[in-house]
Amino acid sequence: MKSLPPLAWLRSFEAAARHGGFAAAAEELGLTPAAVSQQIRALEARLGFPLFRRLPRGVALNEMGQAYLPSVRRAFEELSTATAGLFGPGRAEMVVVRAPPSFAALRLAPVLGRFREARPDVPLRLSTSIWAEASDEDRVDIDIRYGDGRWAAPGSHRLTEPVSCLVAAPGGAPAPGEPAALLKAVAPRAIHVAGCESLWHLAARRFGLDPGSTGTGLGVDSSLVALEMVAAGLGVALIARDLAQPYLEAGRVVCPGPIEIAHDEAHYAVLTEAGRTRPEACLFRDWLVAEFTG
């Protein structure tokens, strides 16, 4: 397969086809007519086919040129759209919000429309990451993190309550009973969420059980995946109550007993150093806090 022609040759081809001549194309591209003619001849030699009919006044596309032009134009349009979307001035103005996938899907997405209705002038870009660390080139204005809130960055606000609850599939939930007996019964089917494995040990100690009795069970990397597995009857899980709430309300999972574990981890909105210099980011952070705690 032949290699792609240089971009400059294709630009000259597209401009000459659009203007019907080399002189007008040269004026648009900041070249001489001779340079445009040379590039097009080089393009034709690379492709092995002529693309234009040379006329007494100007040029016209031949059949091969007419067949090639739509693809070239479409490629330039896609490049232009991608470049403007990724690197244009609109991107620089966006408020970039990063959140764990589970929080973004279960808590933020259902309410984000209210902010969009109130402030359509503030563009947002939501990215998801299981872990809070970002590479140096990532620009994040607001970081929604799950943890104990002991971050050096000022302007951190807790969004959710630090409580987790036991959830099971409706058809496979054990009969309610004393918390210690219930926890012991379901422990072999425990689903462990990465970063939250200590919840099972904490629950076991709180109800007087051996922390090792929870076993290994299944391991997943997000609460959203754990909830889907629970709903599918693959086990039980201890999930942050605010994340489990949509599944509980929809009846996809149930709480089989009064097992709720208070701990020191919750979701926090952290205004980053970059975000603190941007009024739009501060505005969205304030909306988040009011939406989830007001």
Shared-domain flag, residues 250 and 168: yes
Domain range holding 80?
Answer: 7-87
Q: How do 236-240 and 163-167 pair as beta strands?
A: antiparallel
Shared-domain flag, residues 199 and 167: yes
Other C-beta atoms within 10 Å of 141: how many? 25
* Ordered mean pLDDT values, 10 residues apiece, the chain (294 residues): 82 94 93 94 94 90 94 91 70 83 96 93 89 60 88 79 93 74 83 84 83 73 94 93 96 87 91 88 94 88
Buried b (16+ CB within 10 A) or exposed e, 110-136: eebeebeeeeeebebebebbeebeeee
Sign of the CA dihedral with 31 first, then 36, 37, and 43 last: positive
Domain closes at, from 46, 72, 87: 87
Please tell me the total count of domains within the chain: 3
Tokens of 83: 């470049």
pLDDT confidence of residue 129: 84
Domain closes at, from 46, 70, 87: 87
| Inter-residue contact 206 to 136 (CB < 8 Å) | no
Shared-domain flag, residues 171 and 139: no
Domain closes at, from 47, 62, 87: 87
Shared-domain flag, residues 120 and 64: no
Shared-domain flag, residues 136 and 15: no
pLDDT confidence of residue 152: 58
Shared-domain flag, residues 230 and 253: yes
Sign of the CA dihedral with 213 first, then 214, 217, and 221 last: negative
Residue at 2 is within a domain: no
Q: How do 52-54 and 59-61 pair as beta strands?
A: antiparallel
Shared-domain flag, residues 170 and 155: no
Q: Give the total residue count for the chain.
A: 294
Tokens of 145: 């993190």
Shared-domain flag, residues 50 and 131: no
Residue at 116 is within a domain: yes
Other C-beta atoms within 10 Å of 6: how many? 13
Collect contacts of 223-229 with beta carbons under 8 A, ≥24 apart. 223/100, 223/102, 223/106, 223/193, 223/196, 224/101, 224/102, 224/105, 224/106, 226/191, 226/193, 227/102, 227/167, 227/252, 227/253, 229/191
For 98-150, the pLDDT digits (tens) are: 999 999 999 999 999 999 999 998 999 999 987 665 544 468 999 999 988 87
Shared-domain flag, residues 168 and 258: yes
Q: E strand or H helix at 43, and its extent?
A: helix 33-47
Residue at 121 is within a domain: yes
CATH number at residue 215: 3.40.190.10
Shared-domain flag, residues 75 and 151: no
Output the pTM of the full model: 0.68
Residue at 96 is within a domain: yes
β-bridge mates for residue 192, sequence order: 219
pLDDT confidence of residue 90: 54
Alpha carbon distance 52, 50 (integer Å):
6
Alpha carbon distance 10, 40 (integer Å):
8
pLDDT confidence of residue 89: 62
CATH number at residue 30: 1.10.10.10
pLDDT confidence of residue 136: 42
Shared-domain flag, residues 62 and 185: no
SS3 labels along 184-245: HHHHHHEEEECCCCHHHHHHHHHCCCCHHHHCCCEEECCHHHHHHHHHCCCCEEEEEHHHHH
pLDDT confidence of residue 130: 75
Residue at 1 is within a domain: no
For 3-14, the pLDDT digits (tens) are: 789 999 999 999
Closest CA to 102 of 241, 2, 203: 241
pLDDT confidence of residue 1: 40
Shared-domain flag, residues 29 and 73: yes
